[in-house]
Amino acid sequence: MYFSDEHLDKIFEKYALLKSKYNALIFAYHGRNYLFPASSEYARHGFMRRVGTLLRCVENTFTILPPGRGDDPPTREELIDATINIQAFVFNVFGAIDNLAWIWVTETQLKKDGASIPNAWVGFGPKNTFVRESLTQGFRSYLLSMDSWFDHLENFRHALAHRVPLYIPPYIVHPKREEEWRQFETKIMDAMRRGDAKAEEELKESQKALCKFRPWMIHSYSEGSRPVVFHAQLIADFMTVEEMALKLLPELPS
């Protein structure tokens, strides 16, 4: 098993908090009186709808590929279903943060030289300098401390949207056993050419014993993408969205 018992306890302890955190955000963002209809829409139909999707994506992923499932490789269907939920999660984390920025921009009626700012300027990331400069020093410092998280998020989101989509490797083979794995591959191909289905199946089963599943997500090996442990990352990203949302509320005009 990839996770120790101690790590599993910590993961499930934090996982158990997500529903209550979601409910607290509903109370905070649905219950607020907004100054402008656009702000209300970004909050209730943008941000909170996305947070509901985030919660469901985490729940689905934990159901399809539980953290304590062991080392046996999942089925192709399990991998695809979990990947779909992780991809949706990444997109909606990005969108949820943008929704928070739109709430700020509309509630404060932020403008540049008396005109509405371009849509591309709206966001809380390091590149959204105009919006960041409009924030209080405290919230600006908080966002600055999150720059590495924004970089991580942008890396995965941009790869997903424009280059190589996120996926879950079906298995890994220990480097010391790679040659043994390749020998099985050759024997399997020989059995296929002979039409020996029984031998082919037996060889595949023996080869499978060399494979171990790891709960990693990655986008491109050629781009140097590092594997990320997705159970822990999903929880951390959900909690980061919640934290940022709660820190924004007292900043908004009333």
Specify the higher pLDDT residue, 117 or 166.
Answer: 117
Tell me how far apart the alpha carbons of residues 194 and 103 are, in angstroms, rounded to a whole number: 65
Half-sphere exposure of 43 (CA within 13 A, CB side): 26
pTM of the model: 0.85
User: What secondary structure does DSSP assign to 187-236, as a single string?
Assistant: HHHHHHHHT-HHHHHHHHHHHHTTEE---EEBS-TTTTPPPEEHHHHHHH
The continuous run of DSSP H or E covering 107 comes out as helix 76-107
Can you tell me which residue has the tokens 């959900």? Answer: 238
Nearest of 68, 50, 46 to residue 231 by alpha carbon = 68
Angle, in degrees to the nearest 10, between helices 76-107 and 48-64: 160
Half-sphere exposure of 179 (CA within 13 A, CB side): 1
Percent of the chain's residues with pLDDT above 90: 56
The model's pLDDT over 1-47, given as tens digits with 9 standing for 90+, comes to: 678 888 999 999 999 999 999 999 999 999 899 999 999 999 999 99
The mean pLDDT value of the chain amounts to 85
The model's pLDDT over 80-136, given as tens digits with 9 standing for 90+, comes to: 999 999 989 988 999 999 999 999 999 999 999 889 999 999 999 999 999 999 999
> Which residues sit opposite 228 in a β-bridge?
217
Structure tokens at 95: 């969108």
Nearest of 221, 231, 196, 178 to residue 61 by alpha carbon = 231
Task: Give the pLDDT of residue 141.
Answer: 96
Tell me how far apart the alpha carbons of residues 51 and 124 are, in angstroms, rounded to a whole number: 17
Q: How far is CA 63 from CA 14, 81, 82, in A?
A: 15, 10, 9
